[in-house]
Amino acid sequence: MYAYNEFDQKFVRQRVSQFREQIEKRLNGSLSEEEFRTLRLMNGLYLQLHAYMLRIAIPYGSLNSDQMRKFAYIADRWDKGYGHFTTRQNIQFNWPKLENVADILDALADVNMHAIQTSGNCVRNVTADHFSGASIDEIEDPRPSAELLRQWSTDHPQFQYLPRKFKIAITGSPNDRAVVKAHDIGLRILRNQQGEVGYQVIIGGGLGRSPFVGHTIREFLPKADLLPYIEAILQVYNLGGRRDNKYKARIKILVHETGIEEITRRVEENFKLQKSEFQKPSDKLIAAIEKRFLAPDFEQSTYENFEAERSESPQFDIFVKRNIADHRRENYAIVTVSLKNIGQTPGDATSEQMRVLADIAQRFSHDELRISHEQNIILPHVQKRHLPEVYKLLQAADLASANIGLISDIIACPGMDYCALATARSIPVAKDISRRFDELKLEHEIGDIKLKISGCINACGHHHLGHIGILGLEKGGIENYQITLGGAADLTMAIGKRAGRGFSAEELLPAIERLIGAYLDLRTSREEVFLSSLKRLGHSPFIEALYPKKESQNVA
Amino acid sequence: MARAFVTKIVTANDLLVGDAVYLTSSNLWSRDFHEAKICLNEDEATRLLDSTNFHQHHIVGAYLADVAARDGRPVELLHFREKFRTKGPSNYFHGKQEFNNQQGVA
């Protein structure tokens, strides 16, 4: 895990102390809101519907037990006893008071964390595969590259006022779990024919009101060229990106309007310049970063007790099937802890749950945790022999839902329960859907499915990428929900297609039930998952289920 | 034809805690929208909104919200977003619903 050096520490402390003064000035009236707004946003402090919201970056979604315990402490001392984990591997506190924010930031600095660049038109938190450093399919741990990017982008003097926000994601596996094709820049670590490790560079992906699948701008970029190449992309964007229209200011629009060929030409030309002028990080610095991410000292162990527990406890067996992924070491496992209990808010964890997770991570997961963009928490390195005990501890903390990848494992943004930008609520929709399919006892029967909900067109809930996507809007003075079908978030990334007219809040749940009912009727077997049925049959039979003809409604 | 004027009140967020507040006829900010001063025409609404420039120490982002009024008092906010602001989130009993007896912040 990366630990701040003296420079990082000093920089973060300085920023906290500056912001403390700025808050005081706002409170004593020497700064107007207009002047203060930019300053608070630079420090991750938003003003939402009912309160301030503090967004804290969890770099590449990786954290240790001390950091998790600090979140619990902040939640109890200055907030309302819980935190919300987001699709960008951040945590948000929904109830901080302005006068306490500097103290919160100081507490975060104690554990090498901050809220810098979690808002504004700058490079945001660099996100990564949540199985980094643990998964069996990984070519290389992407976190040293992500950390290098974090250091490069933090307080980068040229890129604090970009045309719009800028999001980078990186994966080290061929199986993309970081949604790299939906980012301003997506990076995939791969090997070329000579066996050298480098990056496939993808640009111009994004969701929001104009969703685009990213384009590959470089099939293979040598590792040593990462920063100069990214710098070249940012320079081209900084110069060419539109500043006249907020809705057309992201790099995806520049790529779309200019064409990927011309953008590639500009980037490659700028890159030539960067190659000679860019002051690359020293080998010593890179080695120091890499050292921080060396694999922990994995132990040898046998795990007869794990197999025995699986045959004895069907509940544990289901948990293993749904929530456990293969680890690079045969006697270890990756545990995904669901923050999607039936009827609860996706992505929320109480301070008590955070402490339990921190303790488990410290005792059983080499002190490491990860946050997934799917709003769950990962224990990346758990020995199989410890899984029965870990499961019991999770159960006692109400953290053992065996629903990863099922219909209740919903991504949902905060929506109009909190967010000032939202046009409708998302949380009650997620809660209703998970409750309903639990009542019907159909969740495991339905099997793998991705359902994603956003409360506005900005798409923080990734609705475009849901096999079923739900977008909350306002229509005629009430909340109205559009359904999209056929989205996908992996390397086959696809943007869902709108099924038809939207549904009122009351109509939505029965519509989803009809849609799932149609799938269960139409699939060839349990092995054919929802998305496969949709691909095989096309959208028509599903659209018919969503919008039954009047006659058949009357008969029913 | 000009659209008929809908009765309005002035709302904002409290500077310290961010909670929704409403401008009263005594020129104070209340957490309870029932206490808000209502504006019966466009001019009055614009004037009242402009007056909030002097309230910068207490509030953030003042704007006008449509209300239904009876006997000179607001009885219901018309937009669902504004209704949510008078209660708090739906997933936890937090926000205004938690402190519905507190009034008068400025």
Contacts 24+ apart (CB under 8 A), A504-511: A504/A478, A504/A479, A504/A480, A505/A425, A505/A428, A505/A429, A505/A478, A505/A479, A505/A481, A508/A429, A508/A432, A508/A470, A508/A481, A509/A432, A509/A433, A509/A436, A511/A483, A511/A546
A113: Cβ–Cβ under 8 A, 6 or more apart, which residues?
A56, A57, A58, A63, A67, A70
Structural domain contains residue A131: no
Q: Are residues A417 and A323 in the same domain?
A: no
Nearest to A446 by CA among A513, A389, A542, A398: A513
**CATH classification of the domain holding A362:** 3.90.480.20
Domain boundary among A365, A396, A427: A396
Report which DSSP code applies to A247.
Answer: G
Please tell me which of the candidates A47, A95, A99 has its beta carbon nearest to residue B94.
A95
Nearest to A39 by CA among A113, A107, A105: A105
Token pair listed for A48: 């939402």
Q: Are residues A104 and A71 in the same domain?
A: yes
Please tell me which of the candidates A52, A98, A417 has its beta carbon nearest to residue B89.
A417
Nearest to A116 by CA among A58, A186, A69, A51: A58
Q: Are residues A415 and A482 in the same domain?
A: yes
Surface of A (43-72) touching B: CB under 8 A: 47-52
Mutate to test the interface with B, among A33, A45, A348, A427 (most CBs of B within 10 A): A33
pLDDT(B105) > 50: no
pLDDT tens for chain A, 556 residues: list them.
788 888 899 999 999 999 999 999 999 999 999 999 999 999 999 999 999 999 999 999 999 999 999 999 999 999 999 999 999 999 999 999 999 999 999 999 999 999 999 999 999 999 999 999 999 999 999 999 999 999 999 999 999 999 999 999 999 999 999 999 999 999 999 999 999 999 999 999 999 999 999 999 999 999 999 999 999 999 999 999 999 999 999 999 999 999 999 999 999 999 999 998 898 899 999 999 999 999 999 999 999 999 999 999 999 999 999 999 999 999 999 999 999 999 999 999 999 999 999 999 999 999 999 999 999 999 999 999 999 999 999 999 999 999 999 999 999 999 999 999 999 999 999 999 999 999 999 999 999 999 999 999 999 999 999 999 999 999 999 999 999 999 999 889 999 999 999 999 999 999 999 999 999 999 999 999 999 999 999 999 999 999 998 645 544 4
Q: Does A145 touch chain B (CB under 8 A)?
A: no
Residue at token pair 């011309």: A262
Q: Are residues A371 and A420 in the same domain?
A: no
Domain that holds residue A516: 411-555
Structural domain contains residue A134: no
Q: Does B53 touch chain A (CB under 8 A)?
A: no
Cβ within 8 Å, pair A29-B13: no
Q: Does B90 touch chain A (CB under 8 A)?
A: yes
Cβ within 8 Å, pair A49-B85: yes
Surface of A (462-521) touching B: CB under 8 A: 474, 477-479
A188: Cβ–Cβ under 8 A, 6 or more apart, which residues?
A170, A171, A174, A176, A180, A199, A200, A202
Query: Residue A119 and residue A161: Cα distance in Å, rounded?
Result: 11
Report which DSSP code applies to A511.
Answer: H
Mutate to test the interface with B, among A50, A82, A94 (most CBs of B within 10 A): A50
Cβ within 8 Å, pair A478-B80: yes
Q: Are residues A272 and A311 in the same domain?
A: no
Q: Give whole-number Cα distances, A219 to A116, A265, A370, in Å.
A: 32, 14, 29
Helix residue spans in A139-248 (DSSP H):
143-153, 226-240
Q: Are residues A500 and A367 in the same domain?
A: no
The residues pairing with A171 across neighbouring beta strands, listed in sequence order, are A188
3-state class (DSSP) for residue A398: coil
Surface of B (3-42) touching A: CB under 8 A: 13, 15-20
Number of CB pairs, chain A paired with chain B, less than 8 A apart = 72
Q: Which residues of A touch B19 (CB under 8 A)?
A: 50-51
User: For position A259, what pLDDT does the model report?
Assistant: 98
**CATH classification of the domain holding A203:** 3.30.413.10
User: For position B55, what pLDDT does the model report?
Assistant: 85
Please tell me which of the candidates A26, A47, A428 has its beta carbon nearest to residue B18.
A47
Scanning every residue of chain A, which has its alpha carbon at the shortest distance from the alpha carbon of B88? A50
Domain boundary among A364, A396, A428: A396
Residue A549 dihedral angles phi and psi, to the nearest 5°: -70, 155
Token pair listed for A70: 């600090």
Q: Are residues A392 and A420 in the same domain?
A: no
Degrees to nearest 5, angle at CA A284 with A281 and A288: 100
B68: Cβ–Cβ under 8 A, 6 or more apart, which residues?
B7, B74, B75, B76, B78
Cβ within 8 Å, pair B15-A98: yes
Structural domain contains residue A191: yes
Q: Which residues of A touch B79 (CB under 8 A)?
A: 477
pLDDT(B106) > 90: no
Structural domain contains residue A53: yes
Give the ipTM of the model, two decimals please.
0.93
User: For position A2, what pLDDT does the model report?
Assistant: 84
Q: Give whole-number Cα distances, A345 to A227, A277, A402, A426, A471, in Å.
A: 38, 49, 16, 10, 17
Please give the torsion angle defined by the CA atoms of residues A306, A308, A313 and A319, in that order, rounded to the nearest 10 degrees. 30
Cβ count within 10 A of residue B71:
5
Structural domain contains residue A117: no
Domain boundary among A250, A269, A292: A292
Residue at token pair 């209703």: A432
Q: Does B66 touch chain A (CB under 8 A)?
A: no
Q: Which residues of B touch A52 (CB under 8 A)?
A: 17-18
Query: Residue A317 and residue A337: Cα distance in Å, rounded?
Result: 15
A85: Cβ–Cβ under 8 A, 6 or more apart, which residues?
A91, A92, A339, A347, A348, A349, A371, A375, A376, A377
Query: Residue A79 and residue A97: Cα distance in Å, rounded?
Result: 8
Cβ within 8 Å, pair B19-A428: no
Q: Are residues A417 and A495 in the same domain?
A: yes
Please report the DSSP string for B5-64 in residue order. Answer: PPPEEEEEEETTT--EEEEBTTS-EES-GGGBPPB-SHHHHHHHHHHGGGGTTTEEEEEE
The β-bridge relationship of strands A52-57 and A90-93 is antiparallel
Structural domain contains residue A87: yes
Q: Are residues A264 and A378 in the same domain?
A: no
Mutate to test the interface with A, among B22, B54, B94 (most CBs of A within 10 A): B94
Structural domain contains residue A214: yes
Number of domains in chain A: 4
User: For position B2, what pLDDT does the model report?
Assistant: 67
Q: Are residues A368 and A509 in the same domain?
A: no
Per-domain residue ranges of chain B: 8-91
Structural domain contains residue A123: no
Query: Residue A434 and residue A445: Cα distance in Å, rounded?
Result: 14
Mutate to test the interface with A, among B91, B96, B99 (most CBs of A within 10 A): B91
Residue at token pair 């953030």: B60
